[in-house]
Chain A
Amino acid sequence: MQNIISIANLHKSFKNNEVLKGINLEVKKGEILSIVGKSGCGKTTLLRCINFLEIPDQGTINVNGVSISTDDFPKNYQNIEKNKIQETNNPFKSFSYQNEIVKKFKNKIYQIRGNIGFLFQDLQLFPHYNVIENVYKPLVIIKKMRKEEAILNAETILLKVNLINHRNKYPHQLSGGQKQRVAIARALAMSPKIMLYDEPTSALDPELVREIADMINMLEKDEITQVIVSHDINFIKLIAKQVVFIDEGEIVEMGLLEKLLTNPVDQRTKHYFDIFR
């Protein structure tokens, strides 16, 4: 199987704190890959670099054949742009979308983001839209779809995630699990090839963890590549075969979950998985 995501020598630091120290990672098409590690190990930053919510300091990222390398960045970028971003507290200026690099590689970045659905830890549903609007409005705004067509699409997806009865409710009227499914539906509506999940179970009651796991397993059948960042090993057990363990900005070990659990090569991996055995 071919690789849909390849990451080579990825470095990223915030101020003087190097969060990613040369990550090399390949994700195969249709695969479910889990990234685990202690909090602060850099797993979320890695995920955010894949769709350029964070701009890497160094490295090459290739998503579905679209490749962006820091070698093509202006030479003084690291000195100038990074300082500027971190100085201002204006969210409209500090966001990666307004950054010089994003401007320069605009087309490529939009292409990459168009292939990726991203599930935020805090979901970030649009609170001024109801459920159906949350799902169909982006289709109208981004894909310039006709409203009727977009609603039809949205209804199909809401049916799939079992939310069609709640189509006219606003996010604040939904339970945690329902919100999660709206967020997934919103991402799926854009028909992404890849789904990235940032700590999808962190806000869920234990009985809902299985529900989201079922959803992820269902999407595997649709050949959607899925990368899940989590520290919830019980959840990982339900979904993943391939697991990457990251510690202090480096990939320590990767392989099948059973192998990392029962027969880890590295001491750090052993130590981390000890508590789950």
Chain B
Amino acid sequence: MRSKIIFIFIFFIAYNLLFSQEEFRWAADAEGNVPYIFQDPNNPKLLKGFEVDLANAIAKKMSMKPVFVQNQWDGLIPGLNRGDYDIAINGIEITADRKKEVLFSIPYYYTSEKLVVRSNEQKINGLSDLYGKKIGVLKNSLAERILNTQGGFDVLSYEGEVNAFEDVKNKRIDAALVDFPIALYYTACNTELKQVGPPIGEVVYGAAIRLQDSSLLAKVNNALTSIIQSGELRSILEKWNLWNEVIAIRLNDEKPSTNLHSEFEAYLKSQHTGHNVITTLERDITFLPLFAQGALVTLGISIVSMIIAIFLGLFLAIIRIFGPKFISLIITLFIEIIRGTPLLIQLYIIFYAMPSIGIKFSPFLAAVIGLGVNYAAYEAENYRAGLFAIAKGQMEAAIALGMRRRDALIFIIIPQAFRIVIPPVTNDFISLLKDSSLVSIITMVELTKVYNQVATTYFDFLGTGIIVAAIYLILGLPFIQIAKYSEKHLGLERKRK
């Protein structure tokens, strides 16, 4: 029996050594990114999109195993340089600026910018009708550069196109100028919006690879060339209804289009079915496992961060109070810097700037260090306030009885300080739970990130928003109870007169 297990074990290792494939680690942002990459409406755990098909095709050509890594779109290139993945394929335009930071594959898609306006808008038929008016663009996009170069427009840059479209609908802005695939998909399933005017400019997408990875670049380019020549790229793009005149010219492939847009139609169908309350509710319920996963990440990050905060805070407070003047001053300065700067910036520095000096944390570690250190500064101040408040008369009372300083601290001051700091510390935990949503910017897929992904894919900010808010509330509930309990029971003997 035992030898059998060992045999199976050896076989398993050998099999893996012989047949295991190298990983093709590619990254994109699956948030509000139809038709590039998004969650399958029929199975939210699955990712779909023409870039998913493309990445899989490239990996297959290179005999590698595709592994997807979620990353905020803004952070795709920093993440690449951190080494979280080896290639980014996510509608990244090939520009001169970016070429200084990364290598680009040969282009895999050519397209243009298109204007999107409200369906009932009659007066706007092109850019010239929009002088002096508000136009939404994706930040750092070609659309933004075109409008700024031309001048005369009120340009608003957005984190995601979906937000720009929502603002067009709500009449906050007059039009959005976006890449053609996005304009196509969002207007097709959204009767309130339409495309107008001719294509503007030319957008060229390439896959981004680290500057020093020229061997990977060569392999990817080989794979891409073969995918283009075999017509596989065209069939992917046709499937998604993304084949257009520009790319036909660029790739020298002027055969007539097949009009078989299976994926495009499937997506439209998924968007048009079920818009009453019951079906929306049914669909939202299918997201629950996704949210549960996100909630677990949120809770994990919060608990680990809080443990760091409680103990690091205690350490900081003790040094600040009892340490020599000079060290105490340094700690004070540290606490003030941490408290006086945004957590967001601290997270960026820990995650993206530290690797450049040789310190690289995993996203989880970076998240708990960022949150933990930030809250440690607050906890240190809580402890200090608690100790000071108790110390004033009680310390004298203890030493007048003949107590030594250390005993007075241990038996008289700390037990009381502990009781008065429990409520503020539990309150801090609840706000940490909510602040943990910030770590989505360093690629942690926690509850808020899952919400964003789902909401922007299904245009359902309300229904899913209520679900997610409820989950946060439920997560925080036990700690609200702890705060209440401790205030009632431990704080009892401190009530005066």
Contacts and interface: CB of A to CB of B under 8 A. Distances in A.
Interface in B463-497: 492-497
A137 B397 CA distance: 13
B326 interface: no
A77 interface: no
20 contacts: A51-B400, A97-B399, A98-B405, A113-B400, A125-B397, A126-B394, A127-B493, A128-B415, A128-B419, A128-B494, A138-B398, A138-B401, A138-B402, A138-B403, A170-B492, A172-B492, A172-B494, A172-B496, A186-B401, A190-B402
A93 B495 CA distance: 27
Contacts, number: 83
B407 A141 contact: yes
Interface stretch (B22-30, B171-179, B281-289, B385-393): B385-393
Interface stretch (A27-35, A116-124, A205-213, A215-223): A116-124
Contact of B400 (A53, A141, A172): A53
A171 interface: yes
Nearest to B405: A97
A90 B393 contact: no
Contacts of A186: 401
B228 interface: no
A276 interface: no
Nearest to B328: A90
B15 interface: no
Interface of A: 51, 53, 90-93, 95, 97-98, 110, 113-114, 116-118, 120, 122, 124-128, 137-138, 141-142, 170-172, 186-187, 190
A120 B407 contact: no
Given A91-B395, A92-B391, A128-B416, A142 B493 contact: no
B19 interface: no
B403 A141 contact: yes
A95 B415 contact: no
A120 to B, nearest CB: 6
A124 B32 CA distance: 62
Nearest to B322: A92
B12 interface: no
A120 B393 contact: yes
Given A92-B322, A128-B493, A187-B401, 17 more contacts: A51-B400, A90-B388, A92-B395, A97-B399, A120-B393, A120-B400, A122-B393, A124-B393, A124-B394, A127-B416, A127-B493, A127-B494, A138-B401, A138-B402, A142-B402, A170-B492, A170-B493
A68 to B, nearest CB: 16
B47 interface: no
B232 interface: no
A137 B411 contact: yes
Interface residues of B, number: 31
A92 B320 CA distance: 11
B106 interface: no
A152 B396 CA distance: 26
Given A142-B407, A190-B401, A53 B396 contact: yes
Contact of A91 (B388, B415, B419, B496): B388
A126 B412 contact: yes
Interface string B400-432: 111111010001100110010000000000000
A116 B402 CA distance: 9
Contacts of A120: 393, 396-397, 400
A171 B397 CA distance: 15
A118 B415 CA distance: 23
A215 to B, nearest CB: 19
B465 to A, nearest CB: 45
Contacts of B321: 90, 92-93
B405 to A, nearest CB: 5
A126 B417 CA distance: 12
Contacts of A141: 403, 407, 411
A110 B391 contact: no
Contacts of B322: 92
Contacts of A126: 394, 397, 412, 416
Contacts of A125: 397
B392 A91 contact: yes
Contacts of B496: 172
A125 B392 CA distance: 13
Contacts of A137: 411
Contact of B402 (A53, A110, A124, A127): A110
B49 to A, nearest CB: 60
Contacts of A172: 492-497
Nearest to A110: B402
A-B CB proximity, top 6 nearest: A124-B397, A118-B400, A91-B391, A170-B493, A124-B393, A113-B402
